[in-house]
Structure 1
Amino acid sequence: MNTLIGTYECKVDTKGRLMLPSGLKKQMLSILEEGFVLKRSVFQPCLELYPMSQWNALMEKMNGLNRFSKKNNDFIRKFSAGVKMIEIDGNGRLLIPKDLIAFAGIEKELVVSSAINIVEIWDKDNYESVISNSDDFAELAEDVMGNDIDE
């Protein structure tokens, strides 16, 4: 799996089960059996679904942090708060734990959106609010990508 593509509107049932959109599931066929990690986003009120291989690569990087630094320990603790291992069942569903549903403010309708090599899970209203705030996107794009001279 190189990158994931797509944004999908879905519903979560009363038990917190989300049916993985078929377009996304097709892209993830080779990694479905690996399992996933679901966690709180650092910057937004959404959830991040990491394929296990992506999670392990990130953990390898974090494992290099000096644990005798308070700042590093605080970061690791907060970053890993609420982290859950997730499996996709035979029907293509994943169960979102109640504490993570509460963190993301998920009601019934949600948006599942690819973010390069992970998947973000948003309450639909929160997602629309963040995406529609495009006033500063042109400036952000220039700041992040404008100085990239590799073409």
Structure 2
Amino acid sequence: MTQFVGTHFGKRDSKGRISVPAPFRAELEAAATNQLVFRVSHQHPCIEARSRAVFQQMLDSILRLDHFSEEREALEAGIVADSMMLRIDGEGRLVLPEDMVEEVGLKGEIAFLGKGDRFEVWDAEAARAHVAAAKALVRERRLTIAATPLNTNPKAVP
């Protein structure tokens, strides 16, 4: 599974192309894919990018919901129908759909925020504010991550 980490900055060129950061491309190469599924986030002013495998996990979760249920219909329309699969070219570039670019307000400098199983494309100024607010929240609430035991099989210890 892909692991997108770090924050990287770039710009759209005159043809509207972005260069996917080299560390992110390396993750995709390791996963033997050059395709990503893009969608506008329903939580933040950014565009989310996931590998096909990760997007398939999301789709599988939606498909387990009852047919014709309000929740399933909303998720299919709001997530699946609103997504687009794009291929990275041989030079690591792709063109984001202009409607997505306009919806999230991408201007000059853009930021790529690694979020583990996905990365997000932000206007750089908005990304800096988002990261600063997130760091402040972590400090203020003293948020922690539950540790996973290294040995989950006590019989394996001599």
For normalisation by structure 2, the TM-score amounts to 0.82
Matched, 1:29 2:32: no
Equivalent residue letter for 1:84: M
Q: For the pair shown, which has the larger CA radius of gyration, 1 or 2?
A: 2
Aligned pairs, number:
148
Alpha carbons of structure 1 residues 110 and 140: separation in structure 2 relative to 1, 3 Å: farther
3-state SS of the aligned residue for 1:106? coil
| C-alpha distance in structure 2 between counterparts of 1:50 and 1:88, whole Å | 13
Counterparts in 2 of 1:47 and 1:140: CA distance versus 1, 3 Å: farther
- The aligned counterpart of 2:131 is 131
User: Would you say the 8 A contact 1:114–1:120 is kept in 2?
Assistant: yes
TM-score, scaled to structure 1: 0.85
Q: 1:137 offset after TM fit, Å?
A: 2.5
Aligned residues with identical type, % of pairs? 22
Q: Is residue 87 of structure 1 aligned with residue 87 of structure 2?
A: yes
Unaligned ranges ≥5, structure 1: none
Secondary structure of 1:135's partner?
Answer: helix
User: Is the 1:32–1:88 Cα contact (8 Å) retained in structure 2?
Assistant: no
- Per the alignment, do residues 31 and 150 of structure 1 end up closer, same or farther by CA in structure 2, a change over 3 Å counting? closer
What are the Cα deviations for residues 36-82 of structure 1, in whole angstroms up to 9, with x where unaligned? Answer: 11001121000111111111121111111113222331232122353
**CA deviation map 1:70-99 (0-9, x unaligned):** 233123212235311100001110110101
Q: Secondary structure at the match of 1:48?
A: strand
The RMSD of aligned alpha carbons is 2.0
